Amino acid sequence: MLTSRRAELGLRRAFLLALTGAVLTGCSATLPVEQRMSLPGLPERVELTEVPFYSQDDHQCGPASLAMALNWAGARTTPERLVPQIYLPARHGSLQPELLVATRRLGYLGYVLEPGLDSVLLELAAGHPVVVMQNRGLGWYPVWHYAVAVGFDAGHQEVILRSGRQKRHVVSLRVFERTWRRAEYWALVVLPPGEMPPTARESPYIQAVLGLEQLGHWRAAALAYRAAVARWPQSLSARMGLGNSLYATGDLAGAQQAYRQATLDHPTAGVAFNNLAQTLADQGHWQEAEQAAQRAVSLGGPLLASYKETLRAILARSSQ
């Protein structure tokens, strides 16, 4: 009896040792951690003290973290109000894409950063808090967690988080990078539309604004596209998006201006002429509208059938 109990204890000890051994080798394989909290032009220390804090209730770090980011951006919401939008009761947690959906439902821009520490540091330096996902446990025993990065200290190599029940969780870069890497460096900024993440790239940014469009947040989309046009003046998508959002809010003059600029920057883009033609027609400029529609049809492309319909409708209306 005694021996079997001892054997059992021994087995347990061996198991524990094996486990920790596996853990240590698993982690040391990924070492050394790059200590690269030094970018040219980056301040030594940043802390966004104005980011509000919501303490996490059971399992609800997702709603709490998103509420902090949204309220910082200007939305008025609470973790309680976000729970039905992003919480999955049976999973005891929230999924990353659903954080984005909830953000855009409130008319705010959610942008997922390029994976890596540089993006987070640059956003923090620009004054933007960053929602991060971490696996605070281990690969074989994940403890998925959302927190909000609100600062860093390059001298002490530390990251400052609003996390769980802690308003100010200071964690060494080494520990933070390990836990964050296990969640594939997922990081999200939540911004009032019109404010541009300094690390944004054109294509994913436009996709983010498209999400706002899809939910009918046209004013927000117009602001976001205007910022995109300022950053990427030659972007056809941004210019057309600006025109379309202004059109949807009833600002035909603004839309016309955006489409016209698109035809100048992209003289072979039939779609720019097509939308310009429609807007001119709505304003009663029939002759100009017809010219633009003709141009779209002669340029052709995959949307030719639509251009032809536009032209046909304009000819029918102008002859009335």
Show contacts with another protein in window 57-116 (CB under 8 A): 58-62, 84-85, 88-98, 100-102, 104-105
Stretch that binds another protein, among 46-54, 114-122, 193-201, 235-243 (CB under 8 A): 235-243
From CA 43, how far away is CA 154, in angstroms rounded? Answer: 8
Among 137, 198, 284, 300, binds another protein (CB under 8 A): 137
Closest approach of another protein to the CB of residue 41, in Å: 25
Q: Which is nearer to another protein, 122 or 279 (CB)?
A: 279
Please report whether residue 166 would count as binding another protein according to CB under 8 A: yes
Please report whether residue 168 would count as binding another protein according to CB under 8 A: no
Among 7, 9, 14, 24, binds another protein (CB under 8 A): 24
Phi-psi label, residue 182: left if phi above 0, alpha if psi -120 to 50, beta otherwise: alpha
Q: 141-160 mask for another protein (x: CB under 8 A)?
A: xxxxxx---------xxx--
Closest approach of another protein to the CB of residue 13, in Å: 11
Task: Say how many CA atoms lie within 13 Å of 22 toward its Cβ.
Answer: 10
Closest approach of another protein to the CB of residue 271, in Å: 5
From CA 127, how far away is CA 190, in angstroms rounded? Answer: 12
Please report whether residue 55 would count as binding another protein according to CB under 8 A: no
Closest approach of another protein to the CB of residue 308, in Å: 7
Token match 């400052």: residue?
Answer: 160
Among 1, 2, 29, 305, binds another protein (CB under 8 A): 305
The encoded tokens of residue 191 equal 């911004």
Convert 297-319 to b/e letters by CB count within 10 Å (16 or more is b): bebeeeeeeebeebbeebeeeee
Please report whether residue 247 would count as binding another protein according to CB under 8 A: yes
Stretch that binds another protein, among 3-11, 18-26, 68-76, 116-124 (CB under 8 A): 18-26
- Nearest CA to 166 out of 152, 153, 150 is that of 150
Please report whether residue 252 would count as binding another protein according to CB under 8 A: no
Among 36, 81, 169, 181, binds another protein (CB under 8 A): 169
Q: 25-44 mask for another protein (x: CB under 8 A)?
A: --x-----------------
Long-range pairs for 207-215: beta carbons < 8 A, 24 or more residues apart: 208/100, 208/104, 208/109, 208/110, 208/111, 209/109, 209/241, 210/241, 211/100, 211/101, 211/104, 211/110, 212/104, 212/107, 212/109, 213/241, 213/244, 213/245, 215/104, 215/105
Token match 């486990």: residue?
Answer: 19
Among 120, 151, 179, 189, binds another protein (CB under 8 A): 179
